[in-house]
Amino acid sequence: MTLKYPSHWLERKGGPKISVITAYDYTFARLIDRSQIDAVLVGDSLGMMIQGKPSTLPVTVDEMVYHSSLVRRGTQKFMISDIPFGVIHASFEVACSAAVRLMKEAGADAVKIEGASEPCLNVIRHLTANGIPVMGHLGFLPQSIHTLGGYRIQGKSGPDALVAQSVQLEKAGAFAMVLELIADSTAAEITKKTSIPTIGIGSGNSTDGQVQVLHDVLGLDPDFRPKHAMRMRDIGSDLISACSEFHNSIQIK
């Protein structure tokens, strides 16, 4: 079943698992469009995957709008675009206007907001009450790497806070939520406690779906393979040998 609207996501709660993969440009989006993937996420992970930066923090709203519009040209699948770092921090108005730009200029079907602080929940309430679907994001929040102190599993010792946040996200109107690097048992509890789909990454198998970074699935980074990466191919090595084959093929003997 195509996931065209948030109501379709709700119907998949506890049903066939929802697959989400990141995309950042037209070429890859067009190929993903021909796959069985349910939805694409234009993640601010583009800071690392596309721009070669050390984190997602430098990514701007303009860049999110630009990459989302490229992806939109390549696929009609449900497209979620990240609200990048600094936007919720700036103000309620700045956050709402970023969401509107992603929908209006880039053709996003929904936006994703990291965290469940009061400012985040306020924005989520306002957007969802005004026709902009929002996906939540809990656990390891790449935009908060400085306060979280690096990539580590969240909710191991105190799952209650995360469970409470998940309930708040649902109440605020989120149609689904990403659970990133959350202890399997906590992710399972959140999945049970909430009636919106949970989309896990590095959070075990009991979530309602999984999201992966495209470059991890394709094996495009020869130097780094995160523990939670579900690598299905080694396209990076294929690309290197294809380029070398091309180089060698034009050498005149």
Please give the positions annotated as active site: 180
Closest-by-Cβ residue to ligand KIV is 43
Does residue 201 belong to the site contacting ligand KIV (CB under 6 A)? yes
Contact region with ligand KIV (CB under 6 A), list: 40-48, 86-94, 157-165, 228-236 = 40-48
Does residue 81 belong to the site contacting ligand KIV (CB under 6 A)? no
Read off the tokens for 215. 């470059």
Output the CA torsion sign for 131, 136, 142, 147. Answer: positive
Does residue 45 belong to the site contacting ligand KIV (CB under 6 A)? yes
Does residue 213 belong to the site contacting ligand KIV (CB under 6 A)? yes
Q: Which is nearer to ligand KIV, 109 or 251 (CB)?
A: 109
Contact 20, 13 (CB under 8 A): no
Q: Which is nearer to ligand KIV, 187 or 213 (CB)?
A: 213
Residues within window 87-126 making contact with ligand KIV, judged by CB under 6 A: none
Q: Which is nearer to ligand KIV, 23 or 245 (CB)?
A: 23
Read off the tokens for 94. 């700045």
* Spatial CA neighbour of 211 closest among 98, 42, 59: 42
Angle between helices 61-74 and 26-33 (to 10 degrees): 40
Q: Rule CB under 6 A: which residues touch ligand KIV?
A: 22, 41, 43-45, 82, 178, 180, 201, 211, 213
